[in-house]
Homo-oligomer: A and B are copies of this chain.
């Protein structure tokens, strides 16, 4: 055990959506070459653009009830970061009790814990089927997490030695998204948010460059469905994209600090979403006064133990931004890792970076 290796498990992940920074742009693309009226959009080299009349787009952007679950999932992933993986529904996974306990803060006395693990007779790892996955976000902090329902397999003695069949990937919608780490100027009360030219060109709805100072209103929603409006303006000497009116309210409400990141997303149908990815975890999301850490550990233990004995479902929360230890690992990933020589039973770690950087294919 001890210090785990810095290792990612994302080799197998293929983003179906080309990310902005993977696209090649001519350096001169900033000058407004197109003087046709609305919409111009010719700057968007190599982007999958499907122009639709604006009216239709807006109509589609407001589906009848509530939020679009597909787009929600995309926003969730954008806020979680490119390295975060969530097990798929129907997949088989290993549940590591110790990793789960480590996700809880304030570890209790480890000797006592060991005694209690023995008392509950919980095996080291449990083979489970993923019954359900719900992506969620903490109301107070916007921290993303997944509520995962697991069902222990009845046969825990003959663990799988070959890979499970690969489940069909659910198709993901095409989105334009960026993520920018906030500068001190971005978060100060002195001004607005400076949109990087690349991000504006590739993700924001196109402005009417025929106007002397092009402006539009960005209407977007966050993970909770709350609406946020920003004035997007292209001004200054030299010209640059800015978010002004509405931005400071966002910063204040989300309690953003320099170093945190702003996440923006636009779907093909024109729906817009915003979110945050924090540099550091806002401390003590857990108020100390609910139950003792002792009881919390025992509760996790007892839940796993009881589910294992009765083959009944149990619910866990996976918080990818909090813990660096991934305590739910798909059978296939696990076998692959074992094969390539990792210690069986290691903790799985991943790097975090706040801003999405280009990944070489």
A interface, by DSSP: helix, strand, loop or mixed?
A: mixed
Within 8 A of B (CB), among A315-349: 315-317, 319
Instruction: Please pick, from B141, B288, B290, the residue contacting A136 in the complex, using a CB distance under 8 A.
Output: B288
Closest partner residue, chain B, to A283 (CB atom): B139
Asked whether A289 and B302 contact (CB < 8 A) given A139-B284, A284-B139, A296-B296, the answer is no
- B285 and A290 form a contact (CB under 8 A): yes
- A302 and B302 form a contact (CB under 8 A): yes
Interface status of A212 (Cβ within 8 A of chain B): no
Within 8 A of B (CB), among A190-241: none
- State in angstroms the CA–CA spacing of A249 and B166 once bound together: 57
Chain A interface extent, by class? 35 or more
Asked whether A285 and B288 contact (CB < 8 A) given A295-B300, A303-B298, the answer is no
Closest partner residue, chain B, to A299 (CB atom): B299
Instruction: Please pick, from B104, B291, B306, the residue contacting A300 in the complex, using a CB distance under 8 A.
Output: B291
- State in angstroms the CA–CA spacing of A296 and B317 once bound together: 13
Closest partner residue, chain B, to A293 (CB atom): B315
Within 8 A of B (CB), among A67-125: 104, 116, 119
A149-178 toward B: CB 8 Å interface, digit per residue (1/0)? 000000000000000000000000000000
- State in angstroms the CA–CA spacing of A285 and B297 once bound together: 19
- A287 and B289 form a contact (CB under 8 A): no
Asked whether A285 and B289 contact (CB < 8 A) given A299-B302, A302-B301, the answer is yes
CB distance from A266 to the nearest CB of B (A): 27
Residues in B neighbouring A316, C-beta threshold 8 A: 291-292
Interface status of A21 (Cβ within 8 A of chain B): no
- A306 and B298 form a contact (CB under 8 A): yes
- State in angstroms the CA–CA spacing of A141 and B297 once bound together: 25
Interface status of A250 (Cβ within 8 A of chain B): no
Interface status of A286 (Cβ within 8 A of chain B): yes
Interface status of A294 (Cβ within 8 A of chain B): yes
- B292 and A314 form a contact (CB under 8 A): yes
Closest partner residue, chain B, to A285 (CB atom): B287
Interface centre among A140, A297, A302, A315 (most CB of B within 10 A): A302
Closest partner residue, chain B, to A149 (CB atom): B292
Interface status of A247 (Cβ within 8 A of chain B): no
Interface status of A262 (Cβ within 8 A of chain B): no
Interface status of A264 (Cβ within 8 A of chain B): no
Residues in B neighbouring A299, C-beta threshold 8 A: 291, 295-300, 302
CB distance from A134 to the nearest CB of B (A): 11
Q: Nearest 5 pairs between A and B by C-beta?
A: A299-B299, A295-B299, A292-B315, A145-B289, A298-B302
Chain A residues proximal to chain B, CB less than 8 Å: 104, 116, 119, 136, 138-141, 143, 145, 147, 284-292, 294-303, 306, 314-317, 319
18 CB contacts below 8 A, A to B, read A119-B306, A136-B289, A138-B287, A138-B288, A138-B289, A141-B287, A145-B289, A147-B292, A285-B287, A285-B290, A286-B286, A286-B290, A291-B317, A292-B315, A294-B303, A295-B314, A299-B299, A301-B302
